Amino acid sequence: MIPGKVRNYIKNNFKEGRVACLTGAGISAESGIPTFRGKGGLWERYDPQIYANAPGLISILRTHPEELVNFIVDFYSILLKAHPNLAHRALAVLEKENILSSTITQNIDGLHQQAESQNVIELHGNAFRIRCIQCSQLVVLEKDKLREMIESFKINKNSYIKILKVLSRYFPRCAICGSRYRIDIVLFGEILPADELSRAYKHLNNCDVLLLIGSSLIVYPAAGLPLYAKERGAKIIEINNEPSSLSDLCDYIITGRASEVLPEILGVLGYA
Ligand code: OAD
Ligand code: ZN
């Protein structure tokens, strides 16, 4: 599936610690998590103007709490069931073999860590974590606790006040500064975590090759990272099942499913 020219490039240029990758929802599609855009995508079923930004979420909580609960239940039921697929696992192997320096991801599903990648940079946060709105203290949201929270939401779904009570139970006040916790997901219009972004730039400054995997690359600033790497001399390889908005920027394109292409790359490098 990988064209011969690209195979040769990979064989000769994937040097120790000189490869980075940027992943998007497409890498988790085969773990059962729908992508955002395209057929069957999350934003086809839920309007991102409501469900992906803070004012929209607050307003739907007040006016239609049951619809917000349906969204949360739908979203988390899928995430809680998902397991890493062969693509996540192949990246973890590439990291272990010291080829891949880092996995920069737009995903919030935690599947790279579940696949045992160590150096994961989460540009858009993590759905299994809460963050203090004041001091940014992070706390892991255990899966059992999340399941319990979902059940409480379901029981109380028709009442705004009852939902608020459930929220205050699972999003308590910060033990350090007394402010509230919120989910650690970057919503539309919010700034990306500065430390994660600067770690990403550091790795892009030091890579020869950047793999773009399973992303439409239309959401900035994440979609600005490939150009940043390219301007610093990196070659760009896209692995996607259809062209992205940055395909023209890429030096090599591999069209296919991430879970098939990435194991094949392991084979090319002799790690399969
Ligand atoms: P998108 O849904 O925009 O794009 C997913 C891409 O993956 C598309 O280009 C698909 O063609 C491709 N794809 C689907 N299945 C694939 C497979 N099995 N193998 C390879 N490629 C596949 O998702 P993202 O680009 O990740 O932001 O979206 C970027 C951001 O927009 C997300 O992080 C999220 C969203 O709004 C926030 O939550 C802030
Ligand atoms: Zn705090």
Question: Is the C-beta atom of 85 inside 6 A of ligand 1?
Answer: no
Amino acid at 171: F
Q: Rounded to whole angstroms, what are the CA distances from 85 to 37, 88, 272?
A: 20, 6, 15
Q: Per the structure block, which two tokens stand in for 186?
A: 């970057």
Rounded distance between C-alpha atoms, residue 19 and residue 229, angstroms: 11
Question: Is the C-beta atom of 186 inside 6 A of ligand 1?
Answer: yes
Instruction: Report how far ligand 2's centroid is from the alpha carbon of 176 (Å).
Output: 5
Rounded distance between C-alpha atoms, residue 172 and residue 191, angstroms: 23
Instruction: Report how far ligand 2's centroid is from the alpha carbon of 137 (Å).
Output: 6
Tokens 């499913």 belong to residue: 257
Read off the pTM. 0.97
Phi and psi torsions of 270, nearest 5°: 85, 20
Per-residue three-class SS string for the chain: CCCHHHHHHHHHHCCCCCEEEEECCHHHHCCCCCCCCCCCCHHHHCCHHHHCCHHHHHHHHHHCHHHHHHHHHHHHHHHHHCCCCHHHHHHHHHHHCCCEEEEEECCCCCHHHHCCCCCEEECCEEEEEEEECCCCCEEECCHHHHHHHHHHHHHCCCCHHHHHHHHHHHCCECCCCCCEEEEEECCCCCCCCHHHHHHHHHHHHCCCEEEEECCCCCCCCHHHHHHHHHHCCCEEEEEECCCCCCHHHCCEEEECCHHHHHHHHHHHCCCC
pLDDT of residue 39: 84
Q: Per the structure block, which two tokens stand in for 32?
A: 């059962």
pLDDT of residue 38: 81
- All residues at 6 or more sequence positions from 42 whose CB lies less than 8 Å from its CB, including other chains: 34, 35, 36, 75
pLDDT of residue 40: 85
Strands 100-105 vs 19-23: parallel, antiparallel or unpaired = parallel
Task: Return the residue whose CA atom lies nearest to atom 8 of ligand 1.
Answer: 216
What is the tens place of the pLDDT at every residue in 176-226? Answer: 999 999 999 999 999 999 999 999 999 999 999 999 999 999 999 999 999
Q: Which ligand is nearest to the CA of 257?
A: 1
Rounded distance between C-alpha atoms, residue 35 and residue 262, angstroms: 19
Task: Return the residue whose CA atom lies nearest to atom 33 of ligand 1.
Answer: 106
Q: Which domains, ranges and CATH numbers included, belong to the chain? A: 1-32+84-124+192-272 (3.40.50.1220), 34-81+127-185 (3.30.1600.10)
Rounded distance between C-alpha atoms, residue 47 and residue 1, angstroms: 36
Beta bridge partners of 212: 22, 238
Instruction: Report how far ligand 1's centroid is from the alpha carbon of 222 (Å).
Output: 12
Query: Which parts of the chain sit beneath pLDDT 50?
Result: none
Q: Per the structure block, which two tokens stand in for 40?
A: 């069957």
Which one of 88, 112, 124, 203 is the catalytic residue?
A: 124
Taken in order 163, 165, 166, 171, the sign of the CA dihedral is positive
Q: Per the structure block, which two tokens stand in for 149?
A: 């929270």
**Which of 214, 267, 206, 84 has the alpha carbon at shortest distance from 92?**
84
Task: Return the residue whose CA atom lies nearest to atom 9 of ligand 1.
Answer: 216
Query: Active site includes 124?
Result: yes
Question: Is the C-beta atom of 25 inside 6 A of ligand 1?
Answer: yes
Instruction: Report how far ligand 1's centroid is from the alpha carbon of 23 (Å).
Output: 8
Task: Return the residue whose CA atom lies nearest to atom 13 of ligand 1.
Answer: 26
